[in-house]
Amino acid sequence: MILIVILRLVNKLKTIFFVIDKPIHGNVCSQEFLDIALMAAAFDLHVIVLFEGDGVNALLKNQQPETLGLKQVSPVLSALSIYDINEVLVEKESMELWRLSPEQFVIPVTSVPRVELSQQLNSADVVFSF
Partner 1 sequence: MKISVQINASPYQHQAADTAWGFIQAAIAAGHEVYRVFFYHDGVYNAARDSRPPSDERDIVKRWSTLRVEHNVDLVVCVSSAQRRGLLETSVAKKVAGYEHALADGFRIAGLGLLMEAVIDSDRHITFGE
Partner 2 sequence: MLFIINKSATQSHALSDCVKKAYAGDVILLIEHAVYSVVEIKPPAVFQALRENVSVCALQPDLLVRGLDKERCYDFLEYVDYSGFVALVENNKPIRSCF
Contact region with partner 2 (CB under 8 A), list: 17-25, 67-75, 80-88, 97-105: 17-25
Residue 37: which H helix or E strand, with range? helix 29-42
The one of partner 2, partner 1, none whose footprint includes residue 11, by CB under 5 to 8 A per kind, is partner 1
78 lies in the site for partner 2, by CB under 8 A: no
Give CA–CA dist 86/48, Å, rounded: 8
Closest by alpha carbon to 19, among 74, 91, 105?
91
The one of partner 1, partner 2, none whose footprint includes residue 22, by CB under 5 to 8 A per kind, is partner 2
Give CA–CA dist 43/119, Å, rounded: 25
Q: Which stretches of the chain bind partner 2, using CB under 8 A?
A: 17, 19, 21-22, 53, 114-115, 117-118, 121-122, 124-127, 129-130
